Amino acid sequence: MNDLDQLVGAAQADFAATATPAELENAKARFLGKAGQVTELMKGLAALPVEEKKTRGAEINQTKQRIEALLTERRQALADAELQAQLKAEALDVTLPGRQRGTGGLHPVSRSLERIEAIFGSMGFDVADGPEIEEDWFNFTALNTPADHPARSMHDTFYVDTTAPDGGGHLLRTHTSPMQVRYAVQHVKKHAARIAAGEAMPEIRVIAPGRTYRVDSDATHSPMFHQCEGLWIGENVSFKDLKSVFTDFFRNFFESDDLTIRFRPSFFPFTEPSAEVDIAFASGPLKGRWLEVAGSGQVHPNVVRNFGLDPERYIGFAFGMGPDRLTMLRYGVNDLRLFFDGDLRFLSQFK
Ligand code: PHE
């Protein structure tokens, strides 16, 4: 074996000993770099006689090419090894147990709303939905609420604008009662032909749950809260029906037959007479305490007229209850704000 073959052998061994592309580049420099062994051999040619220079020069060139070929081969091998290692590291282990997605849950107030809709639905009530940004007409005027009523003040109501052409602007609805008017007007329109012919109109029986807004915030009041409106209008609907509907509803909602209902005289501009509704449990932690759960009353003749109906013929009741309050009672929660803070430590308890 001559010195050139030995050099190729040495290069092959050095290249094979490298584990990374950087190490390989260092090894390459030892042979092919500026001060590398092949380069040194080339420099040595200058001292040789012309004939020898030719053959020796050709041999050195061949040597250089052989080393370059070895280098390319090793580069490829290292790149392949790196790819294999990466594939192995990223390999999917299909035998691992799957990761679970977090399962969400219904908000406790949404649960109450679903219960309310199901119970009233079973009593033949339709469920209606309406805008949260409401017109002054539906929120106040159509509900017989005069211009100087305190509920209309800026202290109580979030106004969106106060410059509408009719003098009353838009506001965040302060209660769900505007839905009485919106729903009844649609109902009357739908049955206009029958009404015009003097035939009896099918009864209006509806609930309208949703968000409402007032300038108010403490442990039992939140600026955004929920209400559920109810309206039942027909030719012969009385307080007796209201009491039986409420009794059925609350007994179902709280899954308790030991529950009594009382009406306490009150005032609302859109009902006459009006009553607050209280309930009391005969057992359990709240035993014997009267709890206010709704406002109600016989719909005022002016409001019936705004529905587009004759108050001499059509009569009925309306109520507005607080699903947030009902949820607090059902689950024994004492601060309303907890429902709207969005803290999962609280909310996940209701899953
Ligand atoms: N809208 C009334 C309130 O927010 C409740 C109510 C509704 C009272 C319907 C009577 C009839 O306080």
Instruction: Write the residue with the smallest CA distance to atom 12 of ligand 1.
Output: 295
Categorise residue 297: left if φ over 0, alpha if ψ from -120 to 50, beta otherwise. left
| Distance (Å) from CA 229 to ligand 1 centroid | 8
| Distance (Å) from CA 203 to ligand 1 centroid | 20
Which are the contacts of 196, defined by CB distance < 8 A and separation ≥ 6? none
pLDDT for the residue numbered 128: 98
- Per domain, the residue ranges of the chain are 3-89, 108-350
C-alpha span between 108 and 205 (Å, rounded): 26
Ligand 1 neighbourhood includes 263 CB (under 6 angstroms): no
Instruction: Write the residue with the smallest CA distance to atom 9 of ligand 1.
Output: 319
Pocket probe mutation, ligand 1, options 175, 271, 302, max atoms within 8 Å of Cβ: 175
C-alpha span between 182 and 229 (Å, rounded): 12
- Cβ(119)–Cβ(146) under 8 Å? no
Pocket probe mutation, ligand 1, options 177, 182, 303, 324, max atoms within 8 Å of Cβ: 177
Task: List Cα–Cα distances, 71 to 8, 28, 32, in angstroms.
Answer: 11, 7, 10
C-alpha span between 317 and 277 (Å, rounded): 13
* Beta bridge mates, 240: none
Per-residue pLDDT of the chain (351 residues; tens, 9 = 90+): 688 899 999 999 999 999 999 999 999 999 999 988 999 988 888 888 988 889 999 999 999 999 999 999 999 999 999 999 999 888 888 888 888 887 888 999 999 999 999 999 999 999 999 999 999 999 999 999 988 888 888 778 898 876 655 556 899 999 999 999 999 999 999 999 999 999 999 999 999 999 999 998 888 889 999 999 999 999 999 999 999 999 999 999 999 999 999 999 999 999 999 999 999 999 988 899 999 999 999 999 999 999 999 999 999 999 999 999 999 999 999 999 999 999 999 999 988
C-alpha span between 115 and 252 (Å, rounded): 9
| Distance (Å) from CA 296 to ligand 1 centroid | 6
C-alpha span between 134 and 138 (Å, rounded): 7
| Distance (Å) from CA 319 to ligand 1 centroid | 6
pLDDT for the residue numbered 248: 95
pLDDT for the residue numbered 236: 94
- Cβ(24)–Cβ(78) under 8 Å? yes
C-alpha span between 248 and 264 (Å, rounded): 19
Task: List Cα–Cα distances, 279 to 8, 260, 300, 336, in angstroms.
Answer: 100, 6, 25, 19
C-alpha span between 229 and 324 (Å, rounded): 13
Which are the contacts of 179, defined by CB distance < 8 A and separation ≥ 6? 128, 130, 206, 208, 210, 229, 231
Sign of CA dihedral 324, 210, 181, 151: positive
How crowded is residue 333: how many other Cβ atoms within 10 Å of its Cβ?
A: 16
Q: Read off the amino acid at residue 95.
A: T
| Distance (Å) from CA 282 to ligand 1 centroid | 27
pLDDT for the residue numbered 219: 83
> Which architecture characterizes domain 108-350 according to CATH?
2-Layer Sandwich (3.30)
pLDDT for the residue numbered 99: 84
Q: What ranges make up the beta strands (E) of the chain?
A: 126-127, 133-135, 159-161, 170-172, 204-213, 224-234, 259-268, 271-281, 291-299, 315-321
Q: DSSP code of 252?
A: H
C-alpha span between 246 and 259 (Å, rounded): 11
* Per-position b or e across 250-262, b if 16+ CB within 10 A of its CB: bbbbbeeeebebe
How crowded is residue 317: how many other Cβ atoms within 10 Å of its Cβ?
A: 23
Cis amide linkage into residue 273, ω under 30° from 0: yes
Between β-strands 291-299 and 315-321, what pairing exists: parallel, antiparallel or unpaired? Answer: antiparallel
